[in-house]
C-alpha cells in the first residue's frame, strides 16, 4: 500500500515544539508516513495578509489528514497594526485560521476525550464520605458541534438598517433593545441547523455504542435557549428513543454541569453539545485530568477530511525559550486520535501505553506536572523539557 501523506501545520509559538516531538514519537512507534508542511498562522498574516494561505487548503484537500500545533490570534486592532506596511491599505481583516479551516472543510464534528492517567499528579481529587480523599477516574468524550452556534461568525456591531429592522420585528428585541441607539448595539447570533445538529448527535451516540458508554449527556440549556438548545434536545430525545434504546440520554444545563463536574465526573460517558458549550465543558473536564498539557482533540468532516490538534493555544510566553518546557502529551494524544481515525489503532494503543507508563513511573514530568510556574529555568530545577518527555515516551515504546 502506498504511504500516506500527513499535512503538518505547526503554526505559532509552542505549536512547532510539540509537533516536532510528536513526529519523533510517531516515527519511533513504527508508523510510516510522508509529511508535508502547511503554512498557517501569524507569520503568514503579517507577511501575506492571510493566516490560512490557499496553498495550505489545497494540501489538506489533497491529503485529507492534518496534524495541527497551535496558532496565535490577536484582537482586530492589534492584528491590523502588525500587518506589513504594504498590506495595510488592502482592507484585510484578521480571522482565526483554525476556525477558517473548520468552516472551509466543514469539520463539523469535534471530539475531545478526557481520560484519567493513573499516577498523574494533576488528577483531580476530592473529599469523600468519611472525609477520605478520592481520586475519581474520569473517562469522558465530549462531542462538540464545531462550525455553527455562537462561533459561526454571523455578527454585527452597529448593524445595517436592514439587519436592525429585521431584528426589530422580534418583540423581545424591540422590548429589550429597541431603545438603544443602533450604533451601540452589537449582535452575535447562535444559529443551529437540523442537519448538523443531527450529525453531531449521531456521532455522539454512535461513539457511545461502539465503545460501550452507558450514557450520552446533552449539555445545553433548552429551558432558556429554547430554539437552538431546544431543537437539539428534541432531536436527541427522538434519536435515543428510535435508534439507541440501550443508551441513556441525560440532559444537563451547561451552568449546572460545570458545578457537577467536580462532584461526580466519573458518572459521565459521552457528552454532546453545541459549539460554545462544548468548548466550555471540554475545558472543564480537561481540568480534571491534567489541564491543557493533556487535552487532545480531533475534528472531521463527513467527507473524511480530518485535523488533529491539542486544545491548548500557542502559549507565546514560552515560545522563545531556548529549551521548550511545555508538555507534548496533548499533541501526542491528538496524533493517537489521528492513528485511530486512519485505522492504525494498534500503533495508537502502543503509544498510549507508553505515555501511561511514563506517567505512572513518575520520573519524567514536565513543569505543569511538577506544579511549577512556567519559566525558562524549570528544566534546571528538575522539570523535563518537551523533548525529554518525548524521549521518555519513545524509550517506553
Residue 296 φ then ψ, to 5° = -110, 165
Residue 292 is a binding residue for ligand NAI (CB under 6 A): yes
Q: Which of 26, 40, 60, 70 binds ligand NAI (CB under 6 A)?
A: 70
Q: Please, which residue, 49 or 313, has the CB nearer to Mg ion? A: 313
Please state the closest distance from residue 326 (CB atom) to Mg ion, in A: 17
- Residues 6 or more apart in contact with residue 201 via CB below 8 angstroms: 232, 235, 236, 239, 272
Minimum distance, C-beta of residue 102 to Mg ion, in the bound complex (Å): 13
Choosing among Mg ion, ligand NAI, none, which partner's interface includes residue 368 (Cβ < 5 to 8 Å by kind)? ligand NAI
Could you tell me which of 9, 72, 66 has the C-alpha nearest to residue 46?
72
Distance CA 299, CA 276 (A): 15
- For helices 345-361 and 386-396, the axis angle rounded to 10 degrees is 110
What are the φ and ψ backbone dihedral angles of 263, each rounded to 5 degrees?
Answer: -80, -50
C-alpha dihedral sign at 347, 359, 207, 152: negative
**In the range 242-261, which residues lie near ligand NAI by CB under 6 A?**
none
Q: Is 330 among the residues that bind ligand NAI (CB under 6 A)?
A: yes
Type and span of the H or E element at 253: strand 248-253
- Pick the binder of ligand NAI from 107, 315, 339, 384 (CB under 6 A): 315
Q: How far is the CB of 384 from Mg ion (least distance, A)?
A: 25
- In whole angstroms, how far apart are CA 126 and each of 48, 136, 251, 264, 360? 50, 8, 24, 10, 20
Of positions 16, 196, 221, 312, contacts ligand NAI by CB under 6 A: 312
State how far the Cα of 57 lies from the Cα of 35, in Å rounded to an integer: 15
CA geometry: angle 51, 57, 63, nearest 5 deg:
140
From the CB of 147, what's the least distance to Mg ion, in Å? Answer: 15
Instruction: Pick one of 203, 279, 368, 391: the residue that binds ligand NAI (CB under 6 A).
Output: 368
Binding of residue 19 to ligand NAI (CB under 6 A): no
User: Which residue's CB atom is positioned nearest to ligand NAI?
Assistant: 313
Element housing 308 (H / E): strand 306-310
Please count the residues of this chain forming the interface with Mg ion, following the rule CB under 5 A: 1
**β-bridge pairing 215-220 and 270-273:** parallel
Span 194-253, contacts to ligand NAI by CB under 6 A: none
Q: Assess 297 for contact with ligand NAI (CB under 6 A).
A: no
> Do the beta carbons of residue 136 and residue 289 sit within 8 Å?
no
- CA dist 235 and 231 (Å) reads 6
Look at residue 229 and give the partner it binds from Mg ion, ligand NAI, none, a contact being a CB closer than 5 to 8 Å depending on partner kind: none
Residue in 156, 130, 148 with CA at minimum distance from that of residue 273? 148
Q: Is 72 in the site for ligand NAI (CB under 6 A)?
A: yes
Site for ligand NAI in 81-120 (CB under 6 A): 98
Regarding beta strands 4-11 and 65-70, do their DSSP bridges make them parallel or antiparallel, or are they unpaired? parallel
Q: Are 208 and 270 in contact (CB under 8 A)?
A: yes
CB of 279 to ligand NAI, least distance (A): 10
326 makes contact, choosing from Mg ion, ligand NAI, none, with CB < 5 to 8 Å by partner type, with ligand NAI
**Residue 73 touches ligand NAI, criterion: CB under 6 A:** yes
- Those residues whose C-beta lies under 8 Å from the C-beta of residue 226, and which sit 6 or more positions away, are none
233 versus 294: smaller Cβ distance to ligand NAI: 294
Closest CB to ligand NAI among residues 63, 312: 312
Using the Cα atoms of residue 158, residue 164, residue 168 and residue 173 in order, give the sign of their dihedral: negative
Dist CA 319 CA 184 (whole Å): 38
Footprint on residues 241-300 left by Mg ion (CB under 5 A): 279
Q: In the complex with Mg ion, which residue's Cβ is closer, 279 or 388?
A: 279
| Number of residues in contact with ligand NAI under rule CB under 6 A | 20
| Nearest-approach distance from CB 99 to ligand NAI, in angstroms | 9
Q: Which does 178 bind (CB under 5 to 8 A by kind): Mg ion, ligand NAI, none?
A: none
How far apart are CB 325 and ligand NAI at their closest, in Å? 8
Q: Which of ligand NAI, Mg ion, none has residue 279 at its interface (CB below 5 to 8 Å by kind)?
A: Mg ion
* Site residues for ligand NAI per CB under 6 A: 18, 70-73, 98, 292-293, 309, 312-317, 326-327, 330, 368, 374
Residues that bind Mg ion (CB under 5 A): 279
Amino acid at each position: 500500500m502506498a504511504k500516506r501523506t500527513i499535512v503538518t501545520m505547526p503554526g505559532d509559538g509552542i505549536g512547532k515544539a510539540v509537533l516536532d516531538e510528536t513526529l519523533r514519537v510517531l516515527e519511533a512507534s513504527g508508523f510510516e508516513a510522508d509529511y508535508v508542511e502547511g503554512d498557517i498562522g501569524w507569520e503568514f498574516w503579517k507577511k501575506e495578509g492571510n493566516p490560512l494561505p490557499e496553498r495550505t487548503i489545497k494540501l489538506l484537500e489533497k491529503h485529507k489528514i492534518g496534524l495541527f500545533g497551535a496558532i496565535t490570534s490577536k484582537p482586530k486592532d492589534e492584528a491590523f497594526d502588525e500587518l506589513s506596511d504594504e498590506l495595510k491599505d488592502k482592507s484585510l481583516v484578521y480571522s482565526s485560521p483554525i476556525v477558517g479551516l473548520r468552516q472551509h472543510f466543514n469539520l463539523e464534528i469535534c471530539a475531545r476525550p478526557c481520560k484519567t492517567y493513573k499516577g498523574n499528579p494533576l488528577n483531580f481529587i476530592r473529599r469523600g464520605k468519611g472525609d477520605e480523599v478520592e481520586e475519581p477516574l474520569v473517562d469522558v468524550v465530549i462531542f462538540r458541534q464545531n462550525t455553527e452556534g455562537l462561533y459561526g461568525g454571523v455578527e454585527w456591531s452597529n448593524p445595517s438598517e436592514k439587519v436592525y429592522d429585521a431584528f426589530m420585528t422580534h418583540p423581545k428585541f424591540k422590548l429589550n433593545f429597541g431603545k438603544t441607539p443602533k450604533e451601540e448595539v452589537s449582535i452575535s447570533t447562535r444559529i443551529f441547523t437540523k442537519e448538523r445538529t443531527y450529525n453531531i448527535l449521531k456521532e455522539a451516540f454512535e461513539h457511545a455504542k461502539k465503545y460501550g458508554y452507558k450514557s450520552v449527556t446533552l449539555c445545553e440549556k433548552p429551558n432558556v435557549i429554547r430554539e437552538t438548545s431546544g431543537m437539539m434536545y428534541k432531536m436527541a430525545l427522538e434519536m435515543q428513543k428510535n435508534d439507541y434504546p440501550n443508551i441513556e440520554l441525560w440532559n444537563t444545563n451547561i451552568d449546572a454541569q460545570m458545578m457537577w463536574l467536580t462532584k461526580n465526573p466519573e458518572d459521565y460517558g459521552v457528552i454532546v453539545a453545541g459549539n460554545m458549550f462544548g468548548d466550555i465543558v471540554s475545558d472543564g473536564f480537561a481540568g480534571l485530568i491534567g489541564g491543557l498539557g493533556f487535552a487532545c482533540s480531533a475534528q472531521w468532516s463527513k467527507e473524511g477530511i480530518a485535523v488533529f490538534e491539542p486544545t491548548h493555544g500557542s502559549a507565546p510566553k514560552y515560545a522563545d525559550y531556548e529549551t521548550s518546557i511545555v508538555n507534548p502529551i496533548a499533541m501526542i494524544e491528538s496524533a493517537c486520535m489521528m492513528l485511530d481515525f486512519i485505522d492504525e489503532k494498534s500503533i495508537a494503543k502502543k503509544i498510549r501505553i507508553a505515555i501511561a507508563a511514563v506517567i505512572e513511573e513518575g520520573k519524567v514530568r514536565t513543569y505543569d506536572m511538577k506544579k511549577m510556574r512556567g519559566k525558562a529555568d524549570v528544566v534546571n530545577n528538575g522539570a523535563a523539557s518537551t523533548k525529554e518527555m518525548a524521549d521518555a515516551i519513545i524509550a517506553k515504546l
